[in-house]
Structure 1
Amino acid sequence: MTDAPASRIEWMDVLRGTSIVLVVFNHAILFASSVPTGSPEIAWALNQVFAPIRMPLMVFLSGLLVAPSLARGWKVYLGGKARRVLYPYLVWSAIALVLLYLWGIRDGLVGGATPAPVTAWEPLRVLYDPLEHLWFLYDLFLFYVIALAITRISPLWIAAAALVAAALVPEFSVRRFLFLLVFFLLGVWMSQHPGTLNRVLSRRWVLWVCAAVSVGTVAAVVVGTGLRYTALSAPFAAAGIGLAILAARRIGSAGVLRPLRFVGRDSLVFYIVHWWPTSIGVAIGAATGNGWVALLAGTVAGLLVSTAVVWLIRVWPPLNWLFSAPQRHVVPTESRARDSF
């Protein structure tokens, strides 16, 4: 199997789908922190175990597809990313601003972080401080622009510099950006060298090292070491990504994983839409007084509503224009016309 063929790759869809499910679960825990039930300690610990790999895996997979996209020319490349990443970021930022100004909704429909005063300058945040969970689209578009700008430089040099900077920068959002840029550029480098990913992961000792380091991830969580968006977590993220790819390549076509492949094919829709219904699900579940019920209700609500939106897009294709800029004389026929992350 090649590293980045033009057709859909089932193991990639499985991994994207897995990442999205973990993101929804993570956000359910976030919203649960603002309700009386809170999050069960086991759920919190499990979330911490997956924290080092969840988003690095997603950007690494995006990086793996950069070289084929660049081969089509910089205008086509940049236009595609603007249409399928920047455009939905702007559309949903506008929606988030409407919710904020009309109803004071910030950080989910119910709950989230401590409310902050709403000012007339909120629209400017779209340019430098993304609202809600939309930071990922903002960062991802910048990653694509950086990949275009450094075509004459090895991505490994920039990745190394970003990793050093991530170890020195204290501000969270900047550190997160730099840390994820490292794994995006690693994916870009792999896309420029077809077959490298296969050769690396085919070595048995790589499997054992990844397994050992991943066990260390669990140990770090047990002792309370934070491994989220820090330079220290880079080897743990790399090991987790390696194991995830090895596993997905072996079982990615299994029938039981069809739901994950479905989520992975429409990862953009699931990522954007889940935020608000997840917050509502947590609030409804919290009414039972049971933290597990709140988490389950939030996670299920986020996934079900996102699935419903995907189905609605297939029934009424123009709805896809909320997620991808319309092209002249082109009407989307199904949700798969969008790029996955």
Structure 2
Amino acid sequence: MPAPQNTAVTPMPTTQRFTWMDTMRGLAIVLVILRHGSTTLIEYQIFPTIWFQALQDVLVPFRMPALMLLSGLLLDRALKKNLGQYTLGKMQNLLWPYVIWAAIFLGVSNGGEQYLEPMAWVSTSYLWFIFFLMIYFAIAPFIKFLPAWVPVLAAWIGSWFEPYAASLLGQLLYFAGWFFLGQLASRHWDLVNRLLRPTPAIIAAVLAAFGAYFSLTYPARIEYRVEIVPFAIAGIIAAITLVRAIPDARTGWIRFIGRTSLVWYVAHIPIMLVTRRILVMAGVENFWIHYIAGCTMAFLGSWVLARLFQRGAPFSWLFKAPWPKPKARTTA
């Protein structure tokens, strides 16, 4: 009689740092900055050429979902802390920089005229990603008893009936599916590793190409809809497989961006807006000058801030609350 097979689920190791995650996050942040290099010009009626806009649209279904999934991969690791440590950590690393940079953004964009408007602080412009993460981390401790697939399915079913473009709720639901998909993936790491192999990755890349084509053909209808999710998952699988194959010796600079991704994410738009305003005041209207200058200053300024952040206080207070970490509880 054959021995029974071991069907135990293998979770992602919680004591190991995966360098490919830093690389993947860094690449996503670079793509976000390059995307915003053109979208921040819309209010000045400066538009890119059709082919360049199409090139940007191709990546829309993959970029932010990948960032959200990577955040969800680390959810179970965070949930191992007691509720006090968990809550204080999220206030320190998410709520604090959100408030600081929402204030900076509102000040730069309209001179602070909206400071007294409560809704201006809700999912503020590009900071929606941080705002959504705060909500997901807030509800995660209260639904951790559920099977990991339940919040993923519930979120995307809700997103089907409340599409992304319809409301803030629709956007929350769509990206909640990606966040909790990351948690689900972290609990089935053996399956993930089987998917991150050359043959499955090639098949996934072909599927992702179809998704990119649909996104390019119908960008306003399908870029953040449930219909595109399978193709986006395929694209992310292919991208992770490729990134994992790159030696760490060649990814040091991009891993630095990934490790300090919060700094780059919150800082790049205000830097771009200041650059835009200076160029407009100088009478510059050429798209490429604006785009290259905006992206260059965003990368340079974010790099300086990331280096200063690593030096600690007082520079780190822009991105992390200054109160100390709570002492870990010990048992006799």
TM-score, normalised relative to structure 1 = 0.82
Distance, in Å, in 1 between the alignment partners of 2:118 and 2:140 is 28
- Alignment check: 8 A CA contact 1:97 1:123 kept: no
Counterpart mapping for 1:3-152 below 5 A = 3-99=12-108, 104-105=110-111, 118=113, 121-126=116-121, 129-152=122-145
**Aligned residue number for residue 172 of structure 2:** 177
On the 8 A contact 1:159/1:181 being kept in 2, the answer is yes
8 Å CA contact 2:29, 2:265 repeated in 1? yes
Q: Answer yes or no: is 1:265 the counterpart of 2:259.
A: yes
Structure 1 119/274 Cα, relative in aligned 2: closer, same or farther at 3 Å? closer
Equivalent position of 2:298 in the other structure: 302
Structure 1: runs of 5 or more not aligned: 107-117, 331-341
Structure 1, 87-96 or 17-26: larger mean CA deviation? 87-96
Q: Check 1:140–1:316 CA distance in 2 against 1; reply closer, same or farther (3 A cut).
A: closer
Deviations 1:271-315 (A, max 9, x none): 011011122334556755432232222111111111111122344
**Cα distance between partner residues in 2 of 1:309 and 1:9:** 24
Give deviations 1:45-73, integer Å, cap 9, x for gaps: 11111100111101111111111221233
Match of 1:244 in 2: 239
Looking at structure 2, the residues matched to 222 and 119 of structure 1 have their Cα atoms a distance apart, in angstroms, of 35
Name the counterpart of 2:214: 220
What is the distance in 1 between the residues matched to 2:47 and 2:277?
Answer: 11
* Identity percentage of aligned residues: 29
**Is the 2:195–2:237 contact (alpha carbons within 8 Å) kept by the matching residues of 1?**
no
- Structure with higher Rg: it is 2
Q: What is the rounded CA distance, in whole Å, between the counterparts of 1:300 and 1:246 in structure 2?
A: 29
Q: Does 1:193 align with 2:188?
A: yes
Question: Counterpart in 2 of 1:275?
Answer: 269
SS of equivalent to 1:195: helix
Paired position in structure 2 for 1:333: none
Q: Which residue of 2 aligns with 1:337?
A: none
The one-letter code sitting in structure 2 at the alignment partner of 1:308 is V
Q: Match for 2:316: what amino acid?
A: N
- Root mean square deviation, CA, Å: 2.6
Query: 3-state SS of the aligned residue for 2:98?
Result: helix
1:156 aligned partner: 149
Residues 57 and 216 of structure 2 are in contact (CA less than 8 Å); yes or no, is this contact kept in structure 1?
no
Q: Is the 8 A contact 1:28 1:282 kept in 2?
A: no
Q: Report the AA paired with residue 216 of structure 1.
A: F
Aligned to 1:53, the other structure's residue is in SS state helix
Change in Cα spacing, 1:194 to 1:217, as seen in structure 2 (3 Å) is closer
CA contact (8 A) 1:63 1:184 kept: yes
Tell me by how many angstroms 1:141 deviates.
1.0
CA distance in 2, matches of 1:237, 1:293: 32
- Once the two structures are TM-superposed, the CA of residue 161 in structure 1 deviates from its matched residue by 1.4
Name the counterpart of 1:336.
none
Deviation, 1:213, is: 1.4
Report the counterpart of residue 328 of structure 1 in structure 2. Answer: 324
Whole-Å separation in 2 of the counterparts to 1:316 and 1:11: 25
Taking the aligned partners of 1:276 and 1:95, their CA distance within structure 2 comes to: 7
